[in-house]
Amino acid sequence: MAVPFVSVQELPHRLGRTNPTRQVQGGTVTTADTTTGTTTRVETVHPRDPRVQPVLEDLVHEYSTRYSDIEGHDARSEVYSNLEVYTAEQQGTFVLLLDGEIALAAGAGKRLDDDTIEFKKIWTNPERRGEGLGSRLLAALEDAARELGYRKVFLTTGPRQPEADRLYERNGYTAHFTPGAYTVHPYTKALVPEADGTTLPAGLEKIGVDFNELVGGKPKVAEAQATHDFEPTSVNTDIRGTGAGESGVGPGSGKVAQDARPARRIIRRRNYGRWIFATIALFLVAQFVVSMFKNPNWHWDVFAQYVFSKAIVDGVVLTLALTAIAAVIGFVLGAVLAVMKMSDSPILQSLASGYIWFFRAVPLVVQLVVWYNLGYLWPTLGFGTPFTTDFWLYEFNTVTLISAFTAAILGLSLHEAAYSAEIIRGGLLAVDQGQLEASRALGLPRATRFFRIVLPQALRSIVPNAFNSVIGLVKGTSVVFIVALPELFYTAQVIYNRNQMVIPLLLVTVAWYAVITTALNIVQFYIERHYAKGHERELPPTPFQRIQRWFGARRPNPVPVPTGAGSASAPASRASASSPVTGTR
């Protein structure tokens, strides 16, 4: 089923107005939001239910996308085969988390042994990721497993689902693989306090497929123990954990017969040209850095003397003050100009267009000089009768009013507003018009439409360009030396005009500009990462996460003891230990 307008449907969750109550009626668990009137419900369904079809299709697409380089595995056959094991008749379950008739999340479970259920086909709606749906689904699956009498959960995911690893670890699952290993990732969890959720089920102590050894979709046969109740002619190596391919041998089946062709190791492609160019580039950079620090003409002692001197630090503070004030005024005025230019009024459109044209056409240094010398054109300014200076209610001296600092703020702010207006207008125009039409059809107030639907989506386009403009503004403050304002660059000029140490003082300004720009880049990264939620399948890793990946370090997560109890009934079907891949965020 298509999702006609997901952003509007998720509006109550984004507003944070949630007051859920939970009701159980028959086989349906309904969570109602008493504030907004919206409901989500958990239903146990048959895997052939029509509402399951879009879920399976999206799983096929995700598996095909993430594992397209592994030959011989048909994602469709793996997803759709042997669905009957997820029915109550075979001691399995298939759970949907629904909003109306729209599937928000889904997952299935099948019998692994008398005490253990295996979770598979974990999925969340791509348009609703980042809302905690994966954790809610796991809780619903665990409740269903307890009702079936299971005491433990076993599941696996592939090495290309870091978001799945985070989901399982966050919900108390114990990992059974070496961090950084390119293998199947198994997890376990206890469903009742007396069960041991920290060990793998019997026979699966050495489960795993080395993805580096896959050729044509046929991995080397993993070491398996005969102590478990599996078919002796095959070993399960469902590398993607789709939950399908549980019987039969061949492409997409998830099993490899003992007489399968010998597996060969994949050898990474050798990019000799790239290595050569990278080596040359590193050599040139190293040569330049070494020559800089060994060359006495750079006068690094002078650099160290002035980089934290009081005059330079005061200049940095003034630079930051000019940037902050001009950026705030510029973006506020720019937002007004953007709305004026997008309005239906030809007068407002013309005024906004004229302002933007003029201030983008006139160089900033010219604007600063004019504002600083405004007293030459109008010696006095005041409030009084329009179109005349004969009767002033209040007047003041222009030279006294517009100091060097005021002239700098006026010039930088008005100049910045012209560029900010186009940045904001471009971001607003980037929002899909269908969002506006759907929100109007729902009767949402204009302010709600703008601040809760349009603006959050527009900010994804506005933020990168806005920060680029602010970074340019930081360096643009250097032109206020024309009005003798002692910001960073002007202060350095005064010092090197006195001691003739031009290069070391210029290096001081470069170092401070680099520090300010780096700080702004870090802020920009986290703001962009925030607004990428719900739009990206996987958020970009933070610097700390990158370091963790480089060194393969990951802290073990303790398993909290879950509450609740379930009977120790013994389901009677047999299932192999295949591995689920999750699309959950």
Residues 254-270, mean pLDDT to the nearest whole number:
51
Is the Cβ–Cβ distance between 217 and 178 less than 8 Å?
A: no
Residues 164-170, mean pLDDT to the nearest whole number:
87
pLDDT at 69 (0 to 100): 58
CA 174 – CA 180 distance, rounded (Å): 16
CA 64 – CA 18 distance, rounded (Å): 36
Task: Point out the domain boundary residue: 485, 502, 531.
Answer: 531
Together in a domain, 250 and 313 = no
We report the CATH number of the domain holding residue 212 as 3.40.630.30
Token couple for 427: 């971001």
DSSP-assigned states of every residue in 310-364: HHHHHHHHHHHHHHHHHHHHHHHHHHHHHHHHHSS-HHHHHHHHHHHHHHHHS-H
pLDDT at 259 (0 to 100): 41
Together in a domain, 372 and 468 = yes
Is the Cβ–Cβ distance between 488 and 478 less than 8 Å?
A: yes
pLDDT at 406 (0 to 100): 92
pLDDT at 557 (0 to 100): 45
pLDDT at 497 (0 to 100): 92
Q: Does the pLDDT at position 251 exceed 70?
A: no
Together in a domain, 138 and 76 = yes
Together in a domain, 524 and 431 = yes
Q: What is the CA radius of gyration of the chain?
A: 32
User: Is 286 contained in some domain?
Assistant: no
User: Is 53 contained in some domain?
Assistant: yes
User: Is 394 contained in some domain?
Assistant: yes
Q: Does the pLDDT at position 82 exceed 90?
A: no
User: Is 92 contained in some domain?
Assistant: yes
Residues 500-521, mean pLDDT to the nearest whole number:
94
Q: Does the pLDDT at position 294 exceed 70?
A: yes
List pLDDT tens digits, range 5-32: 333 334 333 333 344 444 444 445 554 4
333-355 burial, b if ≥16 CB within 10 A, otherwise e? Answer: bbbebbbbbeeeeeebeeebeeb
Together in a domain, 246 and 303 = no
Together in a domain, 358 and 234 = no
Q: Does the pLDDT at position 522 exceed 70?
A: yes
pLDDT at 231 (0 to 100): 38
User: Is 570 contained in some domain?
Assistant: no
pLDDT at 457 (0 to 100): 86
List pLDDT tens digits, range 409-445: 999 999 999 999 999 999 999 888 888 888 888 888 8
CA 131 – CA 488 distance, rounded (Å): 45
Token couple for 208: 């795993």
Is the Cβ–Cβ distance between 85 and 575 less than 8 Å?
A: yes
Together in a domain, 214 and 65 = yes
- What distances in angstroms separate CA 291 from CA 280, 296, 575, one per listed residue? 16, 9, 67
Task: Point out the domain boundary residue: 531, 549, 569.
Answer: 531
CA 243 – CA 94 distance, rounded (Å): 12
Q: Hey, how many other C-beta atoms are within 10 angstroms of the C-beta on 295? A: 10
Residues 352-375, mean pLDDT to the nearest whole number:
93
Together in a domain, 521 and 395 = yes
Task: Point out the domain boundary residue: 531, 550, 565.
Answer: 531
CA atoms within 13 A on the CB side of 576: 26
Residues 177-193, mean pLDDT to the nearest whole number:
83
pLDDT at 59 (0 to 100): 86
Q: Does the pLDDT at position 210 exceed 60?
A: no
**Is 123 exposed, middle or buried (CB count within 10 Å of its CB: 0-12, 13-18, 19+)?**
buried
User: Is 527 contained in some domain?
Assistant: yes
Together in a domain, 248 and 324 = no
Give the range of the structural domain holding residue 304, as residue numbers without chain letter: 293-531
pLDDT above 90 as % of the chain = 35
Query: How many domains are contained in the chain?
Result: 2
User: What is the 3-class SS of 68-119, one letter each residue?
Assistant: CCCCCCCHHHHHHCCHHHHCHHHCCEEEEEEECCEEEEEEEEEECCCCEEEE
Together in a domain, 119 and 201 = yes
Residues 377-400, mean pLDDT to the nearest whole number:
74
Together in a domain, 519 and 455 = yes
Q: Does the pLDDT at position 585 exceed 50?
A: no
Q: Does the pLDDT at position 223 exceed 70?
A: no
**Greater pLDDT, 173 or 564:** 173
H or E, element range at 396: strand 392-397
CA 360 – CA 86 distance, rounded (Å): 65
User: Is 287 contained in some domain?
Assistant: no
We report the CATH number of the domain holding residue 346 as 1.10.3720.10
User: Is 9 contained in some domain?
Assistant: no
The angle subtended at Cα 467 by Cα 464 and Cα 471, nearest 5°, is 140
Together in a domain, 373 and 471 = yes
